[in-house]
Structure 1
Amino acid sequence: MKVSNEQIETTMVELIASLPPGKGVDPTEVARAIAGSDEKVWRLLMVPIRAVAVKLADDGRASILRKGRIVDPHDFKGVYRIGAAAPVEGGAEADPS
C-alpha cells in the first residue's frame, strides 16, 4: 500500500481537529484510519507517520505529547501522541485603541 505524506498529513490534521482541547491522537489511530485494521499493513505506516508529526510540530501545526506534556519533536522516545499546536506564548497583542 503506497501512501503519500500528504495523505498522512490530511488524516492526522482531521483527527487532531476532532479531538477535545488538550487531547492527542495515538499514531496507530492515524495508521488505522488510512490502512484499515490489518496490523501488518498499518504498522508499515508508523515511521512515515512519525516523520509527518515532527514536520507538523516544526511548522507549528501540531504538538508531540509524552505523558500529556509537549516535548521537543526532535528529541523524544517511546510512546507519544499527536496534539493540537501549542498556544503561542503571550497570545495576540492587545488593540492599542
Structure 2
Amino acid sequence: MADPLTSDPQASEPPASAAPPDRERIAESIRRLATQRGAEKSICPSEVARELGGESWRGLMRPVRDTAMELARQGEIEVLRKGKPVEPGEVRGVIRLRIAAR
C-alpha cells in the first residue's frame, strides 16, 4: 500500500483488474451526457473522462477525444472550438461537445 504522505495523489492508477472503458462505452457516455445537457449547451470531454475513469481520468482524455471525433464524423455530435462548430480533422486545443441537431 502506498504511503499517503509521500504518494502523488495526481498519479493514482486504477486497480490492475480494472479494464479501461472500450470505445462503445465512451461513445455511450458522450451521447448520454451531451443529450442530457441539451442541443443548446455543450459538455467538456473531461466530464466523460471523469465519469468513466474516476481519479485516473486524465489517461482517458485521448480515447475520449478520439471517440468524439468519430461521433462527429458520423454526424452524432458537434465539436466546438471557441463556441463555434469545427470539422473533426481541424481540431486543436480546447474543445467542447454537443449533441448534433437533427
Counterpart secondary structure, 1:42: helix
Q: Distance in 1 between matches of 2:62 and 2:39?
A: 26
Q: Which residue of 2 aligns with 1:77?
A: 92
**Is contact 1:60–1:86 with CA below 8 Å preserved after alignment?**
no
Mapped pair 1:47 → 2:62: yes
Moved over 3 A (4+): none
- TM-score normalised by structure 1 residue count: 0.81
Segments of 5+ residues of structure 1 without an aligned counterpart are 88-97
The equivalent residue for 1:10 is 28
Contact 2:39 2:100 in 1 (8 A): no
Identity of aligned residues (%): 37
Q: Which amino acid aligns with 2:61?
A: M
Within 2, Cα distance between the matches of 1:61 and 1:21?
12
1:86 Cα deviation after fit: 4.4
Structure 2: where are the runs of 5+ without partners?
A: 1-18
| TM-score (ref. length: structure 2) | 0.77
